[in-house]
Amino acid sequence: MKSIFRVAPLLLTAALIVVLIAQPSAEPNAYLVFYKGEIRVGVDASYAPFAVATADDLFGLEIDLARALGAEIGLPVRFVNLGFDGLFDALRTDQVDVLMSALPIDPARSGTFLYTQPYFNAGLVLVGEITSMRDLPDHRLAYEYGSLAESEARLWLRRVRPFDLLPLETHDAALDAARTGEADAALVDYVAARLYLRDQPEWGTNLTYVSDTLYAMVARGDRPAIAARLDSALAELHANGTIAALIDKWL
Protein backbone atom coordinates (compact mmCIF):
# COMPACT_ATOMS: atom_id res chain seq x y z
CA MET A 1 0.00 0.00 0.00
CA LYS A 2 2.83 2.40 0.85
CA SER A 3 4.34 2.09 -2.62
CA ILE A 4 0.94 2.91 -4.17
CA PHE A 5 0.67 6.13 -2.20
CA ARG A 6 4.23 7.10 -3.16
CA VAL A 7 3.47 6.68 -6.87
CA ALA A 8 0.03 8.34 -6.85
CA PRO A 9 1.25 11.94 -6.34
CA LEU A 10 3.75 11.47 -9.18
CA LEU A 11 0.99 10.22 -11.48
CA LEU A 12 -1.23 13.13 -10.50
CA THR A 13 1.58 15.62 -11.20
CA ALA A 14 2.26 14.05 -14.58
CA ALA A 15 -1.44 14.19 -15.45
CA LEU A 16 -1.61 17.86 -14.53
CA ILE A 17 1.41 18.60 -16.72
CA VAL A 18 -0.24 16.85 -19.69
CA VAL A 19 -3.45 18.84 -19.14
CA LEU A 20 -1.58 22.13 -18.91
CA ILE A 21 0.37 21.39 -22.09
CA ALA A 22 -2.82 20.47 -23.91
CA GLN A 23 -4.53 23.73 -22.91
CA PRO A 24 -3.97 26.80 -25.11
CA SER A 25 -1.59 29.25 -23.43
CA ALA A 26 -3.26 32.28 -21.90
CA GLU A 27 -2.31 35.70 -23.14
CA PRO A 28 0.16 37.51 -20.89
CA ASN A 29 -1.16 40.17 -18.57
CA ALA A 30 -1.71 43.38 -20.52
CA TYR A 31 0.35 45.34 -17.99
CA LEU A 32 3.35 43.12 -18.70
CA VAL A 33 3.05 43.76 -22.43
CA PHE A 34 2.33 47.50 -22.17
CA TYR A 35 4.59 48.30 -19.24
CA LYS A 36 3.46 51.93 -18.95
CA GLY A 37 -0.02 50.77 -17.98
CA GLU A 38 -1.50 52.29 -21.14
CA ILE A 39 -1.30 51.86 -24.89
CA ARG A 40 0.62 54.78 -26.36
CA VAL A 41 -0.55 55.19 -29.95
CA GLY A 42 1.38 57.40 -32.36
CA VAL A 43 -0.81 59.13 -34.95
CA ASP A 44 -0.47 61.83 -37.57
CA ALA A 45 -3.82 63.52 -37.02
CA SER A 46 -3.93 65.34 -40.33
CA TYR A 47 -5.53 62.75 -42.58
CA ALA A 48 -9.32 62.68 -42.57
CA PRO A 49 -11.26 60.51 -42.06
CA PHE A 50 -8.65 58.39 -40.27
CA ALA A 51 -7.39 60.89 -37.69
CA VAL A 52 -8.04 64.61 -37.31
CA ALA A 53 -6.99 66.94 -34.52
CA THR A 54 -8.87 69.97 -33.23
CA ALA A 55 -7.84 72.35 -30.46
CA ASP A 56 -9.11 70.00 -27.77
CA ASP A 57 -9.93 66.67 -29.38
CA LEU A 58 -8.93 63.88 -31.75
CA PHE A 59 -11.42 62.04 -33.89
CA GLY A 60 -11.55 59.69 -36.85
CA LEU A 61 -11.74 56.05 -37.84
CA GLU A 62 -8.35 55.14 -36.39
CA ILE A 63 -9.03 57.06 -33.18
CA ASP A 64 -12.24 55.07 -32.65
CA LEU A 65 -10.49 51.84 -33.58
CA ALA A 66 -7.60 52.44 -31.16
CA ARG A 67 -10.09 53.07 -28.35
CA ALA A 68 -11.94 49.89 -29.24
CA LEU A 69 -8.65 48.00 -29.12
CA GLY A 70 -7.90 49.49 -25.71
CA ALA A 71 -11.28 48.36 -24.44
CA GLU A 72 -10.70 44.87 -25.85
CA ILE A 73 -7.26 44.61 -24.24
CA GLY A 74 -8.36 46.29 -21.02
CA LEU A 75 -6.04 49.29 -20.97
CA PRO A 76 -6.48 53.03 -21.51
CA VAL A 77 -5.21 54.53 -24.75
CA ARG A 78 -3.09 57.67 -24.94
CA PHE A 79 -2.63 59.29 -28.33
CA VAL A 80 0.62 61.01 -29.28
CA ASN A 81 0.07 63.34 -32.24
CA LEU A 82 3.17 63.39 -34.43
CA GLY A 83 4.20 64.68 -37.82
CA PHE A 84 4.19 61.93 -40.42
CA ASP A 85 7.97 62.10 -40.87
CA GLY A 86 8.50 61.56 -37.14
CA LEU A 87 6.29 58.49 -36.68
CA PHE A 88 8.91 55.76 -36.98
CA ASP A 89 11.52 57.72 -35.04
CA ALA A 90 9.04 58.08 -32.18
CA LEU A 91 8.42 54.34 -32.20
CA ARG A 92 12.12 53.55 -32.39
CA THR A 93 12.92 55.80 -29.38
CA ASP A 94 10.08 54.41 -27.22
CA GLN A 95 7.92 57.53 -27.25
CA VAL A 96 5.02 55.33 -28.34
CA ASP A 97 4.17 51.62 -28.21
CA VAL A 98 2.56 51.40 -31.61
CA LEU A 99 1.79 53.45 -34.72
CA MET A 100 -1.66 53.72 -36.27
CA SER A 101 -1.62 56.28 -39.04
CA ALA A 102 -2.87 54.89 -42.37
CA LEU A 103 0.44 53.07 -42.78
CA PRO A 104 0.61 50.51 -45.60
CA ILE A 105 2.38 47.25 -44.82
CA ASP A 106 5.94 47.72 -46.07
CA PRO A 107 8.00 44.50 -46.40
CA ALA A 108 11.19 46.59 -46.56
CA ARG A 109 10.67 47.56 -42.90
CA SER A 110 10.02 44.03 -41.66
CA GLY A 111 12.44 42.91 -38.99
CA THR A 112 13.10 46.36 -37.61
CA PHE A 113 9.35 46.82 -37.23
CA LEU A 114 6.44 44.41 -36.92
CA TYR A 115 3.12 44.88 -38.68
CA THR A 116 -0.13 43.58 -37.30
CA GLN A 117 -2.79 42.04 -39.46
CA PRO A 118 -4.44 44.71 -41.64
CA TYR A 119 -7.49 46.60 -40.46
CA PHE A 120 -8.24 48.48 -43.71
CA ASN A 121 -7.73 48.06 -47.46
CA ALA A 122 -7.24 51.40 -49.22
CA GLY A 123 -6.46 49.86 -52.60
CA LEU A 124 -7.77 50.88 -56.00
CA VAL A 125 -11.37 50.03 -56.84
CA LEU A 126 -13.31 49.91 -60.07
CA VAL A 127 -16.56 51.85 -59.73
CA GLY A 128 -19.36 51.39 -62.24
CA GLU A 129 -21.24 48.71 -64.09
CA ILE A 130 -17.99 47.02 -65.14
CA THR A 131 -16.73 44.78 -62.35
CA SER A 132 -13.43 43.51 -63.77
CA MET A 133 -10.52 45.21 -65.50
CA ARG A 134 -10.61 42.33 -68.00
CA ASP A 135 -14.01 43.57 -69.17
CA LEU A 136 -12.73 47.05 -70.08
CA PRO A 137 -11.90 46.45 -73.78
CA ASP A 138 -14.10 48.65 -76.00
CA HIS A 139 -15.15 50.70 -72.95
CA ARG A 140 -14.01 54.00 -71.39
CA LEU A 141 -12.20 54.26 -68.04
CA ALA A 142 -11.97 57.51 -66.06
CA TYR A 143 -9.29 58.22 -63.46
CA GLU A 144 -7.37 61.06 -61.85
CA TYR A 145 -4.50 62.23 -64.03
CA GLY A 146 -1.07 61.37 -62.63
CA SER A 147 -2.44 59.10 -59.90
CA LEU A 148 -1.75 55.47 -59.06
CA ALA A 149 -4.96 54.72 -60.92
CA GLU A 150 -3.38 55.95 -64.14
CA SER A 151 -0.39 53.65 -63.64
CA GLU A 152 -2.73 50.72 -63.01
CA ALA A 153 -4.85 51.57 -66.07
CA ARG A 154 -1.81 51.72 -68.35
CA LEU A 155 -0.60 48.42 -66.92
CA TRP A 156 -3.89 46.81 -67.88
CA LEU A 157 -3.63 48.26 -71.39
CA ARG A 158 -0.74 45.83 -71.86
CA ARG A 159 -2.77 42.90 -70.53
CA VAL A 160 -6.08 43.14 -72.37
CA ARG A 161 -7.44 44.45 -75.65
CA PRO A 162 -7.52 48.26 -75.97
CA PHE A 163 -9.91 50.44 -74.03
CA ASP A 164 -10.25 54.21 -73.90
CA LEU A 165 -8.57 56.26 -71.18
CA LEU A 166 -10.23 59.35 -69.74
CA PRO A 167 -7.81 61.25 -67.48
CA LEU A 168 -9.44 63.97 -65.37
CA GLU A 169 -8.32 66.55 -62.82
CA THR A 170 -9.60 64.82 -59.68
CA HIS A 171 -10.91 61.46 -58.52
CA ASP A 172 -14.30 63.09 -57.91
CA ALA A 173 -14.36 64.19 -61.55
CA ALA A 174 -13.59 60.61 -62.59
CA LEU A 175 -16.45 59.34 -60.45
CA ASP A 176 -18.75 62.01 -61.88
CA ALA A 177 -17.90 60.75 -65.36
CA ALA A 178 -18.79 57.17 -64.42
CA ARG A 179 -22.02 58.25 -62.72
CA THR A 180 -23.23 60.38 -65.65
CA GLY A 181 -22.28 57.87 -68.33
CA GLU A 182 -19.37 59.84 -69.79
CA ALA A 183 -17.23 56.86 -68.80
CA ASP A 184 -18.19 53.22 -68.29
CA ALA A 185 -16.24 53.00 -65.03
CA ALA A 186 -13.89 54.97 -62.80
CA LEU A 187 -10.71 53.74 -61.16
CA VAL A 188 -10.03 55.45 -57.80
CA ASP A 189 -8.83 54.53 -54.32
CA TYR A 190 -11.30 52.93 -51.93
CA VAL A 191 -11.47 55.92 -49.57
CA ALA A 192 -12.31 58.34 -52.39
CA ALA A 193 -14.95 55.96 -53.71
CA ARG A 194 -16.65 55.45 -50.35
CA LEU A 195 -16.70 59.17 -49.53
CA TYR A 196 -18.12 59.98 -52.96
CA LEU A 197 -20.81 57.30 -52.75
CA ARG A 198 -21.80 58.55 -49.31
CA ASP A 199 -22.67 61.88 -50.93
CA GLN A 200 -24.38 60.19 -53.91
CA PRO A 201 -26.64 57.64 -52.20
CA GLU A 202 -28.95 57.43 -55.21
CA TRP A 203 -26.18 55.97 -57.37
CA GLY A 204 -26.51 52.25 -56.84
CA THR A 205 -23.33 51.02 -58.46
CA ASN A 206 -20.66 48.36 -58.12
CA LEU A 207 -17.37 48.74 -56.28
CA THR A 208 -14.69 46.12 -56.98
CA TYR A 209 -11.12 45.94 -55.68
CA VAL A 210 -8.42 45.98 -58.33
CA SER A 211 -5.36 46.26 -56.06
CA ASP A 212 -4.62 46.12 -52.33
CA THR A 213 -3.09 48.76 -50.07
CA LEU A 214 -3.32 47.27 -46.60
CA TYR A 215 -3.14 49.50 -43.52
CA ALA A 216 -1.82 47.93 -40.33
CA MET A 217 -0.52 48.94 -36.92
CA VAL A 218 3.26 48.95 -36.42
CA ALA A 219 5.24 47.88 -33.35
CA ARG A 220 8.95 47.64 -32.70
CA GLY A 221 10.66 44.50 -33.93
CA ASP A 222 12.14 43.80 -30.51
CA ARG A 223 8.70 43.84 -28.85
CA PRO A 224 6.79 41.02 -30.53
CA ALA A 225 4.44 40.65 -27.55
CA ILE A 226 2.91 44.05 -28.38
CA ALA A 227 2.25 43.12 -32.00
CA ALA A 228 0.86 39.73 -30.93
CA ARG A 229 -1.51 41.25 -28.37
CA LEU A 230 -2.76 43.84 -30.87
CA ASP A 231 -3.17 41.11 -33.48
CA SER A 232 -5.34 39.11 -31.13
CA ALA A 233 -7.50 42.13 -30.33
CA LEU A 234 -7.80 43.08 -34.01
CA ALA A 235 -8.91 39.53 -34.85
CA GLU A 236 -11.68 39.80 -32.25
CA LEU A 237 -12.81 43.21 -33.54
CA HIS A 238 -12.90 41.83 -37.08
CA ALA A 239 -14.90 38.81 -35.94
CA ASN A 240 -17.49 40.74 -33.93
CA GLY A 241 -18.07 43.32 -36.67
CA THR A 242 -16.59 46.32 -34.83
CA ILE A 243 -14.12 47.21 -37.58
CA ALA A 244 -16.72 46.91 -40.33
CA ALA A 245 -19.07 49.12 -38.32
CA LEU A 246 -16.39 51.78 -37.84
CA ILE A 247 -15.61 51.80 -41.56
CA ASP A 248 -19.29 52.27 -42.30
CA LYS A 249 -19.46 55.06 -39.72
CA TRP A 250 -16.59 57.08 -41.16
CA LEU A 251 -16.92 56.18 -44.83
Higher pLDDT, 19 or 77: 77
- 3-class secondary structure, 53: strand
Please give the mean pLDDT across all residues of the chain: 90
Higher pLDDT, 144 or 110: 144
pLDDT above 80 (res 138): yes
Q: Give the span between the Cα atoms of 194 and 117, in whole angstroms.
A: 22
Q: Residue 6: what pLDDT?
A: 38
DSSP string, 85-146: GGHHHHHHTTS-SEE-SSPBP-GGGBTTEEE---SEE--EEEEES---GGG-TTSEEEEETT
Q: Give the span between the Cα atoms of 144 and 174, in whole angstroms.
A: 6
Amino acid at 166: L
The pLDDT confidence band at residue 18, using thresholds 50, 70 and 90, is very low
Look at strands 218-220 and 113-115 and give their pairing.
Answer: antiparallel
Other CB atoms within 10 A of residue 99 CB: 24
Tell me the sheet residues that pair with 113. 110, 220
From residue 40, give the alpha-carbon distance in Å to each of 52, 53, 79, 111, 121. Answer: 17, 16, 6, 21, 24
The answer to whether the beta carbons of residues 246 and 164 sit under 8 Å apart is no
Average pLDDT over residues 210-228: 96
Q: Residue 7: what pLDDT?
A: 36
Q: What is the pTM of this model?
A: 0.86
The answer to whether the beta carbons of residues 172 and 196 sit under 8 Å apart is yes
Higher pLDDT, 58 or 1: 58
The answer to whether the beta carbons of residues 27 and 229 sit under 8 Å apart is yes
Average pLDDT over residues 100-113: 93
Average pLDDT over residues 137-147: 97
pLDDT above 80 (res 57): yes
Q: Is 145 exposed, middle or buried (0-12, 13-18, 19+ CB in 10 A)?
A: middle
Sign, CA torsion 64/44/212/175? positive
Alpha-helical (H) ranges within the chain are 2-22, 30-33, 61-73, 87-92, 148-157, 171-180, 190-199, 224-239, 242-250
The pLDDT confidence band at residue 200, using thresholds 50, 70 and 90, is very high
The answer to whether the beta carbons of residues 178 and 184 sit under 8 Å apart is yes
Q: Give the span between the Cα atoms of 7 and 240, in whole angstroms.
A: 48
Least confident of 28-37, 53-62, 165-174, 242-251: 28-37
